[in-house]
Amino acid sequence: MTSGIQRVGVVGGGQMGAGIAEVCARAGLDTVVCEADATAARRARDRVARSLERAADRGKLDGPAAEDALARLVFTGSLDDLADRHLVVEAVIENAEAKTEIFHALDKIVEDPGAILATNTSSIPVMRLGMATGRADRVLGLHFFNPVPVMPLVEIVTSLHTTAETAAAAEEFARQTLGKTAIRSKDRAGFVVNALLIPYLLAAVRMAESGFATAADVDAGMELGCAHPMGPLKLADLIGLDTVASIAESLYEEFKEPLYAPPPLLQRMVEAGLLGRKSGRGFHVYEG
């Protein structure tokens, strides 16, 4: 465990926030998860508890370790409970205004001037969030991947204000404390992974949209022809089509490259609530 970061806060207890909280607790850290209210906080706790139970059932974690991890977690509906944290990771909806408001509030709440404020955003500029605080030098991106307990990668994203000391502390936290592989990226929309991934997914959407090939054939082609573990449209469904569209819009806003523009079919599917696995239907249909 790193000596500097022992108390962690996570803002947002959805799929990503719950996963980040879980890996922190499993690493032995005192972890507080903040949700919008007490009801949402209880849902977040249930989400983490189910994940820990599954890990124990699959032999990835023994029962006592799962119980210890859950015991290290506190779930709250108040940001004020994050005042004593060494690191706070924001993991709320991918909306610039919502994230900016949270960083502005955290700047006033988190007492330690050396604390790191991090965002799990996949596309919103870290600089924008840092400038909502009086400590932009201590703000960076810690971009985890879903599902967080399984996926080994974390992107460390530094803005023009982020100090080398802050970046080094975050990288040590990701590597030594959480056991993740860390890569570094400059503060550009999409960072490393999504800047490469999203144009690929959008190309698959355009192929299906034009009738060039069916969604099933597009996915089979990449799985069986390129040895990808999951086809691009299945992957888009897994990520969430609303999230894919949001990242695409951020990329297009930054670079103005046509390959980043979300296709009309993707936009219509989001408007229709056909978001992929989480809604039961996207490019494919899901049950249960």
Positions annotated as catalytic residues are 122, 143, 155, 194
- Taking phi first (over 0 means left), then psi (-120 to 50 degrees means alpha), and beta for anything else, what does residue 93 get? beta
Rounded to 10 degrees, what is the CA torsion of 191, 196, 201, 204? Answer: 160
Whole-angstrom distance, CA of residue 92 vs CA of residue 10: 9
C-alpha separations of 123 from 88, 94, 248 in Å: 19, 8, 9
Q: 30-34 and 7-11 as β-strands: parallel, antiparallel, unpaired?
A: parallel
Residue 141: strand pairing partners: 119, 157
Bond before 258 cis per omega within 30 degrees: no
Q: Is there a contact between 90 and 141 (Cβ–Cβ < 8 Å)?
A: no
Residue 85 per-residue DSSP state = -
Whole-angstrom distance, CA of residue 31 vs CA of residue 11: 11
Residue 240 per-residue DSSP state = -
